[in-house]
A = this chain, B = another copy of it.
Amino acid sequence: MMNTFGNLFRLTSFGESHGAGIGGVIDGCPAGIELDMTFIQNELNRRRPGQSKITTPRKEADEVTFLSGVFEGKTTGTPIGFIIWNDNQHSADYDNMKEVFRPSHADYTYQTKYGIRDHRGGGRSSARETIARCVAGAIAKLVLMQEGVHIQAFTSQVGSLKLDKSYQAYDLSLTESNAVRCPDPQKAAEMEELIAEVKSQGDTIGGVITCVIKGTPVGLGEPVFGKLHAALGSAMLSINAVKGFEYGDGFEAALYRGSERNDRFYNDNGKINTHTNYSGGIQGGISDGQDIYFRVAFKSVATILMEQQTVTKTGEDTILKAKGRHDPCVLPRAVPIVEAMAAMTILDYLLIQKTRG
């Protein structure tokens, strides 16, 4: 609820797009973890605007400063405070947003909910908030590596261009080799072209990110309301612009019969295994040791550089045309965010599971 995510590994975040910065407090991180600052900064760089010609050119260093909880390079078990200062605060650019509700943004709902809002660049509802998630996610990943858990997300669809095979058919290590973060270089090139075209029109486009988690032990997940996939779904749906979540065979499962999709067990040289993994690595809300995989749908970014009809704060019809930069496709930058949320969720459940022993 509110601005805290997680139970035992917990991120409380704060900050607005054009305030002092974006930050947070990570509570419950195991003590004695070596903080690999290069790794953490690299995770932030992966979500930073201006990485390539197909993202928004906003250029901020996005360097994280740790304020507590780390001593001589290691976590101490006390809360890890951190901040990423905003260094690019052209607040005046947003003065024309003060009186206008942008279509499909949160301006109207925030204003109505709170009776007040920081209109500069979306304030708290800005996607810039996700930078705090990447910091906490990076630390979660560092802990998970020690437990043998590996998380990899990638862009699997942009507009109508989609990867049509299962994740197993691709070499996921190629994901970072291109600007869209798609493991199929051919498809990636097509996606890049599409995004460039959309960008040139001042428009935006949606897509889908797929995420695969390998190495989770059997047993993560809390019946009945805290099913592992319910937690993963909630985590993903809390990311800006996400419209849908499915795991395993997802919506496709609706089409099939039990006889076609039950994952049959067999004795795999002394180990219990399944022939198929339509279940997506989760049975009855609990991880079964197979790969966990899921898909996350993103809508097109709401800020477009085209004229749009809308209303002012007082309800008068007006025409809005955003100026300057815009992000034609959020997918490439959202890949590390999906991974970060998955990492925090899995680590939280790993910690809970330790109490069940």
Contact = CB atoms under 8 A, between A and B. Distances in A.
Interface of A: 1-5, 7-8, 10, 12-16, 19-25, 27-28, 30-32, 65-69, 71, 74, 76-81, 83, 101, 103-106, 108-110, 112-118, 123-125, 129, 157-160, 198, 201, 203-208, 218-219, 221-227, 229-231, 233-235, 237-238, 240, 243-251, 253-267, 270-272, 274-275, 278-280, 283-288, 295, 297-304, 306, 308-311, 315-317, 351-357
A69 B30 CA distance: 29
Given A78-B223, A108-B283, 6 more contacts: A3-B25, A3-B225, A71-B123, A240-B284, A257-B304, A258-B300
Contacts of A246: 243-246, 251, 297
A272 B355 contact: no
Contact of A221 (B109, B123, B271, B288): B109
Contacts of A219: 109, 112-113
B244 A245 contact: yes
A242 B25 CA distance: 26
A258 B355 contact: no
Contacts of A310: 264-266
Given A114-B356, A266-B311, A272-B315, A224 B124 contact: yes
